[in-house]
A and B are shown apart, each in its own frame.
Chain A
Amino acid sequence: MGMPITVEIADESAVEEAINNIFTYFEYVESKFSVYKQTSEISLFNKGEISEDEFSDDMKKIFELSEETKKLTNGYFDIKSDKKYDPSGLVKGWAIYNAAQLLKDMGFKNFYVEAGGDIQAYGKNGEGQFWKVGIKNPFEQTQIVKAVRIENKGIATSGTCLRGQHIYNPKDNNKPAVEIISLTVIGPNIYEADRFATAAFAMGKKGIEFIEGLKGFEGYMIDYNGTATMTGCFEKYVLK
């Protein structure tokens, strides 16, 4: 939440109004789900000023999806942390996916929507090629360490984020262990890629194994030494 948004439409029929609709939608998502906004629905709930019974339809939906994701990931995905709820690990992908649907409903076929480093892409870029996505070097943000080409897919990268799950350090009860720095997931759409990237990151080095076990998902994980581990079929996406 509170992140830059990029929308690029390669269709010749693209108009500025279409893109403005998308930004308006993200403003709406922000106003509801951002824990940084004191007046957002989630903040009001966290402060106890509204109850679950008073949830809007979208908030109900997000809590349902979060519960489902928590079960699918054996609890590694959990929006509750220290008695506060922060659904951003799922809302981001969900919102990008919805925004992309809005563009599809408007008739566009070749575009991507990017928010906070997560992307939903459809069709081809202006050069007639499937959209090319770089994976950021987590140690040097001006570099990319991988270039992939995705065809109607979602790609999400989870990184060292100190909110939410920590990996317990067996050597020291009081400190979380740093195992991995970033985990990128390519999935059938950005909602799926984002929620599983979030869950997998919480699993530390085992996260890439979780992604390996998911049909239709590929992953690229980077540890603090700059060593990457990728799932068996990840290389089919890599730009040659």
Chain B
Amino acid sequence: MRAKKFILSSFIILMFVIYSVSQNFGNSKNTVAGNILPANTDTTVPIQNNNTPAAVATGPQPAKPTPKPAPSSNSTPPTPVAISGKYKDGTYTGISADAYYGNVQVQIAINGGKITDVQFLDYPQDRRTSLEINSQAMPYLKTEAIQAQSAQVDIVSGATATSGAFQQSLASALSQAS
């Protein structure tokens, strides 16, 4: 009886779709896209951001900036390990995919078996913003290769506005490079 009460009264879960924007939420399963996860989990990459400080720190000023405590030894860039290539070197153009408000088409460059550049050949908003970004060195940041997790979670956070079209075009470009 207690179990029944527990089941009935302690959990109410409702999935309610008000309406979905007619985008592809990754329905087109392309196993190549999944292969973008580095297979070699032992690889390390150097910290992406440059430790060269800019002359003037005129970056964005947040409301309540407070210095963080001194970093641990994680701030030292790990020694890069040679990564065996997964993709054939070259330049590949993905399909032009429908992003609902326009088309998306990407072109990728593969060097040393890895993606080294991604360009948009087509995108819905034809605008650009010129940005000047200056920032001080950020020794606290840490990097890692993403890895699929098997942990059970209650809910997932992800960008739904991430155009499935972007993923489609990227996946098709990668499939040519495989």
Contact = CB atoms under 8 A, between A and B. Distances in A.
Contact of A117 (B45, B115, B135, B157): B157
B119 interface: yes
B68 A232 contact: yes
Interface size class of A (residues with CB under 8 A): 35 or more
A134 B149 contact: yes
**When A and B form their complex, which 7 residue pairs have the shortest distance between CB atoms, in order from nearest?**
A159-B159, A136-B158, A159-B162, A232-B140, A141-B26, A147-B151, A134-B153
Interface string B98-135: 01011010100000001100111101110111110101
Interface in A211-237: 212-216, 222-235
Given A157-B159, A203-B133, A166 B141 contact: no
Contacts of A50: none
A72 B141 contact: no
Interface of B: 9-21, 25-26, 29, 33-34, 36-38, 45, 47-49, 59-66, 68, 71, 99, 101-102, 104, 106, 114-115, 118-121, 123-125, 127-131, 133, 135, 138, 140-149, 151-163, 166-167, 170
B146 A116 contact: no
Contacts of B142: 229-230, 232, 234-235
A150 to B, nearest CB: 10
Interface of A: 1-16, 19, 23, 26-27, 30, 36, 72-74, 76, 81-82, 112, 114, 116-119, 125-126, 131-147, 155-169, 172-178, 181-182, 184, 196, 199, 203-206, 208-210, 212-216, 222-235, 239
Given A4-B18, A163-B124, A119 B157 contact: yes
A160 B159 contact: yes
Contacts of A147: 149, 151, 153
B120 A176 contact: yes
B128 A135 contact: no
B24 to A, nearest CB: 10
Nearest to A13: B9
Contacts of A168: 128-131
Nearest to A235: B142
